[in-house]
Amino acid sequence: MHKTVLSCILTALVTTVLLVTAFVLGTGYFVGNYAVHFGLERGTVENPQEPPRAFALLMPPEARHYDKPDYTNEEWTLTSRDNLILKATHFYPDEDNGGKKWAIVVHGYGGTQENSYYIATYYLRMGYHVLTPDLRAAGKSEGRYLTMGYKESQDMVDWAKRIALYYPQAKIIMHGVSMGAATVMMACDDDDLPANVAACVEESGYTSAFDLLVHQIHESLGLPAFPAMNLLDWRCQQVAGFSLNQAVPEVAVMHAKVPILFIHGTKDALVPPAMAEQLYRDAKAPDKSLLLIHDAVHGVACQKDEELYFKTVREFTAPYMQSD
């Protein structure tokens, strides 16, 4: 009798555990799947170039347009390592320096190269050639899913190699904001990075995509990281073809091959300033500096204090842009 009762209890417990596990996994599957499509997939039936819905809710179409720099320009095309056709614009300065000074300006999450035009104009006024790429799954570039800087960093290395091919004497600054910052930081650790890349400027970058989303889940939703993040990362791998743990600028800056200037706004609620401080502490770059812009929110430090921002950029990068 006791054995029968014990057997029934054990069976009930095992069944309950299995049902709860199935429910959690099933719920996690659908939630993770939704999160990947909501946050990383671009395009709608009406507009294949529409940014991910998470970005579209925050930034309506009428607020996404910026004036194109009034400089001579041409479109460049690149085929990525996974056969996506990527697009960028090459702007020529009014007074050409023979292609010796270049800046690649990289936009952030959900944006297009238009988001780079403000910073691009500064470099053009300084006599730089400027390349403003549309990251994969953005603007005119092909691709369905963003990868939070992971595959984008490989694309950026290849854009730098394209410049080096056309302009062997070029010295290049890579300058990225938000996800673009993560992109250029990870590019600094790439074995294929051409020697032409002389310095890196990152603004509002995160330590890792995983840590960033953990922060947002906790701050915005009040949810624990486990198991939500694990299930989300699993769906990222299955659907978008990458792991959030592959988008880790913090590791990249520990092995960076070029000097890095870190810039962050003290009122950044999306990517906490503590991440910039952590990146700066961890960086083992040949040279590094940290600039915190007082009261600046996410991704607009250059507009909050333009004079200090660009003065710091100019002074940090100048020693590395001198002709040999």
Among 145, 208, 194, smallest CA distance to 166 is for 194
Q: How, if at all, do strands 171-177 and 129-133 pair?
A: unpaired
- The string of pLDDT tens digits covering residues 68-82 is 999 999 999 999 999
Residue 121: which pLDDT band, with cuts at 50, 70 and 90? very high
- Does pLDDT of 322 surpass 90? no
What distance in Å separates the CA atoms of residue 239 and residue 255, rounded to the nearest whole number? 30
CA-CA-CA-CA torsion for 288, 204, 182, 147, nearest 10 degrees? 180
Task: Note the pTM of the prediction, 2 decimals.
Answer: 0.88
pLDDT at 275 over 60: yes
Question: 65: pLDDT confidence band, cut at 50, 70 and 90?
Answer: confident
CA distance 307 to 284: 28
Q: Among all chains, which residue has been given the structure tokens 């950026």? A: 156
Q: What is the mean pLDDT of the chain?
A: 87
Reported confidence tier of residue 141, pLDDT bands at 50, 70, 90:
very high
pLDDT band at 13 (very low <50, low <70, confident <90, very high): very low
Domains (ranges, CATH) in the chain?
Answer: 1-40+210-242 (no CATH), 67-208+247-320 (3.40.50.1820)
Judged by average pLDDT, the poorest of 3-7, 35-39, 117-121, 156-160 is 3-7
56 pLDDT above the threshold of 70: no
**Which tokens go with 314?**
């100019």
Taking residues 10-29, report their average pLDDT.
41
Question: Residue 2: is its pLDDT beyond 60?
Answer: no
Q: Examine the pLDDT at 31 and tell me if it is beyond 60.
A: no
Summarised one tens digit per residue, pLDDT across range 180-225 is 999 999 999 999 999 999 999 999 999 999 999 888 776 655 566 6
pLDDT for 72: 97
- Spell out the residues 6+ positions from residue 205 whose beta carbon is closer than 8 angstroms to its own: 176, 178, 181, 182, 185, 249, 262, 264, 271, 275, 276, 279
Highest-scoring range by mean pLDDT, 21-25, 72-76, 267-271: 72-76
CA distances from residue 126 to 95, 115, 146, 197, 285 in whole angstroms, order as listed = 9, 19, 32, 18, 25
Residues contacting 142, CB < 8 A, separation 6+: 84, 85, 86, 136
Residue 17 CB neighbour total at 10 angstroms = 10
Euclidean distance between CA atoms 151 and 131, whole angstroms: 18
Tell me what pLDDT residue 235 has.
85
Mean pLDDT of 245-274: 96
pLDDT at residue 191 in the model: 95
